[in-house]
Amino acid sequence: MTTWTMPDHPGIKTYPRFTAAAVQAAPVFLDPDATVGKVVSLIAEAAGNGARLVAFPEVFVPGYPYWNWTMTPVQGSAWFERLFRASVDVPGPHVDTIRAAAREHRVHVVIGVNERAPRGVGTLYNTVLTIDEDGELIGVHRKLVPTWAEKLTWAPGDGSSLRVHDTAIGPLGALACGENTNTLARYTLLADGELVHVANYIALPVAPDDYDMVEAIKVRAAAHSFEGKVFSLVSCSAISDEIVDAVAGDDEAAVKMLRRPHCAFTGIFGPDGRLLTDPLIDDEGIVYADIDLNRCIQPTQMHDITGHYNRFDVFDLRVDRRPRTPVRLLDGPAVDGAPASEQAAASGERREQMDDPADPRREA
């Protein structure tokens, strides 16, 4: 656990102060090499402006499957194959490039990717990577439940990655898009000590007519910050002409849908639930804010939902953080007459955890 104290008063606890950056941008659609190149450039730009944390959108590499909303599953099947081929391996060369940029510029990076399953073909995850300023991959979180039409593309994650990371800028957690509507997932991170939250999204112009994506993102981020007394960075992707042309083609209804305005929001919220800076709506850019985690202390005296402002004798939340794998392979001979499966169970389960892509302890 990282500790922070005042240099002149080592017995007095203090918390980090730093500049945070949230990116709103469009990927180079279904081109992982070019998109990672854009990521590296944006990291350098944000670091040049003093940022120590840079947040990127959901599945930024190599983009979001908008065809799920504009085509039938049969029509979109070939697009799914294109996305699978263009997705990234974790660990893998694209992740290594982002890690190197984080290490070079001494920044923490949270970014969404389409992750290929480590074995077999055809399984993708909506994954959020957390990388520290040393370039270490410290978090691999797979979205717990793909939202609505997203179930055509992504498999669900498990609870093994629902955790907060101890970093030089403070306790850092992240959730992808609709997960920020999941009260229990958010509470789990708060109870794990989160003080800095990254919520990454995609621009969603394909929602029902009465659904305002900008307002939906704002209310979720403000609620998490206010309830947990934490800072929240919202990073949302933008829709480019390239994406519209690729997905919609000559389909006028799809073009109209994808060009709907007011569908992307990026901003940074303080522990009182209010914005710290002017947000970005629809346009590409980077927003910055000064973060002082000491500001989280006083508001918690009023509402500490993971401490004194709760009734743990009334409420009992159990979170299963065991990794889930397609198969449990229990190897080894029988010992002292006991079945081999029993003898191998403990070591087999440990191996599963280390082999699972969602476990950052494995080699990256």
Catalytic residues, by residue number, are 58, 143, 177
Paired with 265 in beta bridges are 281
- Cα separation, 325 vs 179, whole angstroms: 21
Q: Six-digit token pair at 84? A: 């699978």
Pairing of the two strands 9-13 and 280-281:
unpaired
Q: What's the residue count for the chain?
A: 364
CB atoms within 10 A of CB 341: 13
Radius of gyration of the chain (CA): 21
Q: Tell me how far CA of residue 6 lies from CA of 14, 15, 228, in angstroms.
A: 6, 9, 25
Can you tell me the distance from the alpha carbon of 328 to that of 331, in angstroms, rounded to the nearest whole number? Answer: 10
Residue 2 backbone phi and psi in degrees, to 5:
-70, 135
Distance in angstroms (rounded) separating the CA atoms of residues 223 and 235: 16
- Measure the CA angle with vertex 176, ends 302 and 170; round to 5°: 50
State the Cα–Cα distance between residues 234 and 217, nearest whole angstrom. Answer: 8
Please give the sequence-ordered ranges of beta strands (E in DSSP) within the chain, or none if there are none: 5-6, 9-13, 17-24, 51-55, 108-116, 124-131, 137-142, 165-167, 170-176, 196-201, 231-236, 265-269, 280-281, 285-292
